[in-house]
């Protein structure tokens, strides 16, 4: 079985590339190298949490008392890598801007899932959403470790505080949703779907917070974490769902299945389903979370969704969901089919 690892917003390949970039200052290169090396140490733990979550899905929940809404907690690592860190009292009114922003946006993600999809936290059982901030020194990433969120402050050159981009927060918490639903393996096409689902819901969350229609959104992922040096080099985001291969992306991606790389990084190959989602959202129009978001959520949570599911299997689930959720609107189904066909799936 493929491992359910990963779940970082910045791919290791990007960090490795930056660590080798002789045009960057040594401190920035060192920060990227150290961040990339730490990714390996989290793999086994995340895989174990993912397998445990899948096993739990088959357990009867009779007698379980569900929290009406998830508690939101924030802890401060103070630059250490010791988790969870020191609890931040009343983070919603904290004088630490990172703690306050983390609390507010995490609370908003919980509200987004509840309001738009009827989901109660990542496990649908009211699981506490715990976050640790100020993790490590110049730590250039954010990730879901299987039980909680962790945010670095960035090196302040390539990346800034990872709580500054609310789509990053939505992306990472969605890895938790995937863990407790389809449990997509983190390799090959299932891995690309795993990353894509997080980008899709992260983008939807950002648009939901801004009250944007699909046509007015920029479809960028991670634009809020781009540091001054990266911006000076012409980068505006990590990824662009509208134009995955654009030069302004720190993490360029393929946009068509003909460019799929077997065994490639899930962050890269996720550009294919990402672009399909964008095309379908634009074709349907309106607000993404009210139509295509419901279709994608239904596919992710379908009893037919399996950890080993590839692009074609997911496509079939989205097409079926389009028919069942919007039976009186054949145009929605047509756009779903058209969007997947446009990316070669």
Range of the domain at 159: 12-57+65-179
**Same domain, residue pair 118 and 140:** yes
Q: Which DSSP string corresponds to 281-311? A: HHHH-S-GGGTHHHHHHHHHT-TT--TT--H
**Same domain, residue pair 153 and 258:** no
**Same domain, residue pair 17 and 156:** yes
Let me know if residue 4 belongs to a domain: no
Supply the pLDDT for residue 6.
Answer: 54
**Same domain, residue pair 149 and 287:** no
Place 324 in a pLDDT band, splitting at 50, 70 and 90.
very high
**Same domain, residue pair 140 and 194:** no
Let me know if residue 116 belongs to a domain: yes
- Average pLDDT of span 51-63: 49
**Same domain, residue pair 150 and 103:** yes
Give yes or no for a contact between 126 and 110, defined as CB atoms under 8 angstroms apart: no
Let me know if residue 2 belongs to a domain: no
**Same domain, residue pair 240 and 299:** yes
**Same domain, residue pair 108 and 198:** no
pLDDT(242) > 80: yes
Supply the pLDDT for residue 60.
Answer: 41
Straight-line distance from the first to the last Cα atom of the chain, in angstroms, rounded to the nearest whole number: 24
pLDDT(139) > 70: yes
Domain with 261 in it: what CATH number?
A: 1.10.390.10
The rounded distance, in Å, linking the Cα atoms of 147 and 50 is 9
Let me know if residue 134 belongs to a domain: yes
Let me know if residue 130 belongs to a domain: yes
Supply the pLDDT for residue 7.
Answer: 81
Domains of the chain: total: 2
**Same domain, residue pair 166 and 261:** no
Supply the pLDDT for residue 1.
Answer: 35
**Same domain, residue pair 253 and 295:** yes
- Average pLDDT of span 167-196: 97
- Average pLDDT of span 311-337: 97
User: In the predicted model, what is the mean pLDDT of the chain?
Assistant: 92
Q: Which of 135, 74, 83, 80 is nearest to 102 (CA)?
A: 74
pLDDT digit string (tens) for 209-233? 999 999 999 999 999 999 999 999 9
**Same domain, residue pair 168 and 285:** no
Which positions are catalytic?
172, 267
**For residue 115, is it left (φ>0), alpha (ψ between -120 and 50) or beta?**
alpha
pLDDT digit string (tens) for 141-165? 999 999 999 999 999 999 999 999 9
Place 46 in a pLDDT band, splitting at 50, 70 and 90.
very low
**Same domain, residue pair 158 and 259:** no
């Amino acid at each position: 079985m493929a491992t359910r690892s990963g779940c970082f917003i910045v791919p290791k390949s990007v960090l490795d590339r930056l660590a080798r970039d002789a045009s960057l200052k040594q401190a920035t290169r060192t920060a990227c190298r150290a961040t990339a090396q730490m990714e390996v140490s989290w793999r086994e733990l995340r895989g174990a949490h993912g397998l445990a979550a899948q096993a739990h899905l088959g357990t009867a929940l009779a007698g379980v008392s569900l929290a009406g809404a998830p508690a939101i907690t924030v802890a401060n690592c103070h630059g250490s890598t010791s988790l969870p860190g020191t609890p931040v009292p009343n983070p919603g009114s904290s004088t630490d801007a990172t703690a306050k922003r983390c609390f507010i946006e995490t609370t908003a993600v919980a509200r987004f899932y509840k309001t738009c999809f009827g989901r109660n936290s990542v496990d649908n059982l009211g699981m506490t959403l715990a976050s640790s901030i100020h993790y490590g020194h110049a730590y250039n990433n954010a990730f879901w470790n299987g039980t909680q969120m962790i945010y670095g402050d960035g090196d302040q050159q390539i990346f800034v505080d990872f709580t500054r981009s609310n789509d990053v927060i939505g992306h990472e918490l969605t890895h938790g949703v995937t863990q407790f639903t389809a449990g997509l393996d983190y390799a090959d096409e299932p891995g690309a779907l795993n990353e894509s689902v997080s980008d899709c819901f992260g983008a939807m969350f950002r648009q939901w917070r801004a009250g944007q229609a699909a046509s007015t959104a920029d479809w960028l992922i991670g634009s809020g974490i781009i540091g001054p040096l990266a911006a000076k080099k012409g980068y505006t985001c990590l990824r662009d769902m509208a134009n995955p291969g654009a030069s302004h992306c720190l993490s360029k991606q393929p946009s068509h299945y003909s460019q799929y790389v077997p065994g490639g990084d899930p962050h890269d190959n996720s550009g294919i389903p990402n672009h399909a989602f964008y095309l379908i959202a634009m074709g349907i129009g309106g607000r993404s979370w009210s139509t295509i978001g419901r279709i994608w959520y239904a596919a992710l949570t379908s009893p037919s969704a399996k950890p080993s599911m590839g692009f074609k299997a997911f496509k079939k689930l989205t097409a079926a969901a389009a028919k069942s959720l919007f039976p009186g609107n054949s145009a929605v189904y047509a756009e779903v089919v058209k969007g997947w066909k446009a990316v070669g799936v």
